[in-house]
Chain A
Amino acid sequence: MTSHLEAVDIIKEYDGVRALDRVSIPAHLGKVTSIVGVNGAGKTTLLKILAGLDAPSNGRVLIQGREADPRELRAHCTMVFQRSIMFSANVHNNVAYGLKICGTSSQEISLRVKSALALVNLDGFEKRQARKLSSGEQQRVAIARALALERDVLLVDEATANLDPANAMIIERAIKDAARYKAVLLSTHNLAQARRLSQHVIHLYRGRVVEEGEPSRFFTNPRDERTKLFIDGELQF
């Protein structure tokens, strides 16, 4: 099966320190791929490269088999960050921002904003000031903002890390729903979440992919010693 988005031998170095070391990962339409690993494993760095926000020191990112530059990646991918970042505007304008930039008609914007907010249980929140919402609600707005753009790749970086179970559940449901027609790459250190949501799990350790596979096998019968320790919560970093 051809990947929709693919990182091939990505190397990223900062001041001589290698943050990513020949990382290759696929992302398929209709699937959630989880990237798990301890803090500092390189998950966010990898997602930023895939989102076109950072350039790799070496390696390529392919979209539908063709090498893509950062500008093309930004046209295909959108990213939700661990910390919800809101524009100083109401919820409608926050969700509509990317659509306005694309030149979408105001009628279409209204429809898409409404349906994106409905996906995260925020119907009727359009006029509320985004920065005055709770952190959980803000993160749901961030998910809605990403979904409203209808890009084919959704990159989610620890989006539920600091949220209560109720908000996390709403976000997980929205991600699951989005994965029906998108390629979703989810960075998380919540193993239960990775197991619940993904069709493919990748373990990143010190900038390298040390294990990957389907969740059923990955979590029950890991081949790599470091993955075993990570799953058991005993991996030192």
Chain B
Amino acid sequence: MHPIIEGIIQAVNLILTGDPEVLGIAALSLFVSVLGTLIACVWSIPVAVALGLRSFHGKRIIKGLFNALTGIPTVALGLYLYLLLSRTGPLGQFQLLYTPYAIIIGQSVLVTPIVVSFTTSALESVDPDLRTLARTLGASDLQTYNVVVKEAFWGVVLAVIAAFNRAFAELGIAMMLGGNIRNLTRVLTTAIALETSKGEIALSIALSFILLGIVMSLSIAINLARKSAR
């Protein structure tokens, strides 16, 4: 049987039978990526609001920097964070390396430029006259920002989803900071890499279908929600 067809059948089997190891890997992947993305949002959205709605010296340079960092290679970032978190590194005392927390930290750093850049673009695309209008209707500065953020809501959601997809599908950070330890830090991408290197193509394909299934289901769900909100 062709490995792709075999992979599809195995994927269906693994999901339907509820293979505990595969479900565990998928759950850990979701856990670290969701948490990594949410943590990144905590600092990235306020930064994007400042970049998108305020004028200050050096704003263009900062925006350019974040734009450039959206494409940072995950292996490079993984290496720098590895050096920070390794036993001899500045943060080595916290013993985070090869734990899910290290992956979460790495992914939150990785997706920060994505959330900042995409959210800034979404905020900047809102009609600037809306802020003027809100002010004539008595809004304070904070309330006018709120108006813009509300108008850009779906743009911000898309920024967060793009960030999650990047975190969920990346390999370099999970491998270098997590170490692909079975039942501890193994996520879908590192499991796929491992199974492929072992020649278990069908299992790799099965895992990749789960990965793609989650990413695509999320995108479809968001699109449906967006359409129904209109």
Contact = CB atoms under 8 A, between A and B. Distances in A.
12 contacts: A52-B135, A53-B135, A75-B138, A79-B136, A81-B129, A85-B130, A87-B133, A87-B151, A88-B150, A97-B137, A98-B139, A145-B137
B138 A102 contact: yes
A4 interface: no
A51 interface: yes
Interface in A162-187: none
A101 interface: yes
Give the contact-size bracket for chain A.
20 to 34
Nearest to A75: B138
Interface in B161-211: none
Contact of B143 (A78, A85, A87, A101): A101
A101 B127 contact: no
B130 A87 contact: yes
B69 interface: no
A49 B143 CA distance: 21
Nearest to A155: B136
A210 to B, nearest CB: 28
Nearest to B151: A88
A97 B150 CA distance: 13
B223 interface: no
Nearest to B126: A88
Interface of A: 51-53, 74-75, 77-79, 81, 83, 85, 87-88, 97-98, 101-102, 145-146, 149
Contact of A85 (B127, B138, B139, B150): B127
Contact of A81 (B133, B147, B150): B133
A78 B137 contact: yes
B130 A101 contact: no
Contacts of B136: 51, 53, 74, 77-79, 146
B134 interface: yes
Interface centre among B130, B134, B136, B151 (most CB of A within 10 A): B136
A45 to B, nearest CB: 13
Given A74-B138, A87-B130, A145-B137, 17 more contacts: A53-B136, A74-B135, A77-B136, A78-B136, A85-B127, A85-B130, A85-B132, A85-B133, A87-B133, A87-B147, A87-B151, A98-B138, A98-B139, A101-B137, A101-B139, A101-B143, A146-B136
A208 B45 CA distance: 45
Contacts of B137: 78, 97-98, 101, 145, 149
Given A81-B129, A85-B127, A85-B129, A97 B134 contact: yes
Interface string B4-24: 000000000000000000000
A101 B144 CA distance: 11
Contacts of B139: 98, 101
Contacts of B132: 53, 81, 85
A88 B133 CA distance: 13
Nearest to B130: A85
